[in-house]
Amino acid sequence: MFKEISQVLLQSQNVVILPHSSADGDCLGSAYALKLMLLQLGKTAVVLTDEDNPKICSLLFGAEEERPVVPDLAIAVDCGDLDRLGGRKGVFTSAPVTVNIDHHPTNTGFAAHNHVDSGEAATGQIIFELLEYMGLFLTKEIAADLYIAIASDTGRFSYSSVTPKTLTIAARLLEAGIDHVGINEVLFEKNPMSKILLMRDALNAFETYLDGKIALVSITREQVIASGANEEDAGGLILLPRSLETAVVAVSLRESVNKPLVKVSLRSNTVDVSGIARTFGGGGHVRASGCTIDGSIEAAKETLLAEIKKVMGCTE
């Protein structure tokens, strides 16, 4: 099943790898692991992120120098559609050959060569299997990047997406000698002050609807600016409403600092939130999705709650 993709990689020389915008652990870990694999094959490869220096990059191997190349191949990783490439859409579409490696069920198959497997818990898992298929060597550096990818997307191996295969791959990554304790500390246990301040604001704005079945937090543009948080710090607030024991659908709303729109994250263990996200032009996974809604946070909240209640079969 990796025949087509591996042939494309072998035929390439200068490769640009594009994680999705608002980069997270899975897309970045996958991208840098793939970069190191391409270097092993004697190719030139660079990772081009939408943001300047995502903080997580300090953890990632292969993230040191990025020399611009004129690519003969562009690879999007962990990216459900072209719009999620943000400002780098043109870099992708102007490359002579394009590849799309992803695990989002809403993936639109936007490349010439698509490898999309929604049964995989993380794109990092697909990259690991590609490495094995191509007979490449699992260095400690590649293993660390893939661990970052898989641990990020599985909530430290706790979500329903985790399968025996996920843990078998994780075992192989540990056997390669990675410092999983150090990685977990940076990924999950340490927060910058700006993030703690945002979490405080989010808890102050905590609300529930339908007797606690819908739990919601919201953060205004002013709060993001006052906290000093960057886009990266501002992610992850969804974990607060998600932890309410009665919550069926968890929502976080955050006003963009630069644009008149609201970023929405949705989580559920029983409701297909990717369907709700698609209604607003977004997408993602059945249990974890996101979208953006134009306008004010109050207006976004109102239309979103109406849609969630409709999907949950509750009309009030």
For Mn ion, the binding residues (CB under 5 A) are: 26, 78, 123, 153
Q: What is the largest CA-CA distance in the chain?
A: 61
Nearer to Mn ion, 27 or 215 (CB): 27
Nearer to Mn ion, 85 or 297 (CB): 85
Residue 279 CB, nearest distance to Mn ion (Å)?
21
Please choose, from the candidates 261, 251, 257, 192, the residue with its C-alpha nearest in 3D space to the C-alpha of residue 222. 257
Is residue 300 a contact partner of residue 293, using CB atoms and an 8 Å limit? yes
Residue 288 CB, nearest distance to Mn ion (Å)?
9
Residue 301 CB, nearest distance to Mn ion (Å)?
27
Nearer to Mn ion, 116 or 308 (CB): 116
Residue 94 CB, nearest distance to Mn ion (Å)?
25
Residue 103 CB, nearest distance to Mn ion (Å)?
6
Nearer to Mn ion, 82 or 244 (CB): 82
Residue 190's Cβ-count burial label (10 Å; 0-12, 13-18, 19+) is exposed
Using CB positions, name the residue nearest to Mn ion.
26
Nearer to Mn ion, 81 or 153 (CB): 153
Is residue 89 a contact partner of residue 81, using CB atoms and an 8 Å limit? no
Please choose, from the candidates 265, 296, 307, 256, the residue with its C-alpha nearest in 3D space to the C-alpha of residue 283. 265
Residue 64's Cβ-count burial label (10 Å; 0-12, 13-18, 19+) is exposed
Residue 285 CB, nearest distance to Mn ion (Å)?
8
Nearer to Mn ion, 50 or 78 (CB): 78
Residue 175 CB, nearest distance to Mn ion (Å)?
23
Nearer to Mn ion, 26 or 81 (CB): 26
Residue 91 CB, nearest distance to Mn ion (Å)?
21
Nearer to Mn ion, 63 or 127 (CB): 127
Nearer to Mn ion, 50 or 153 (CB): 153
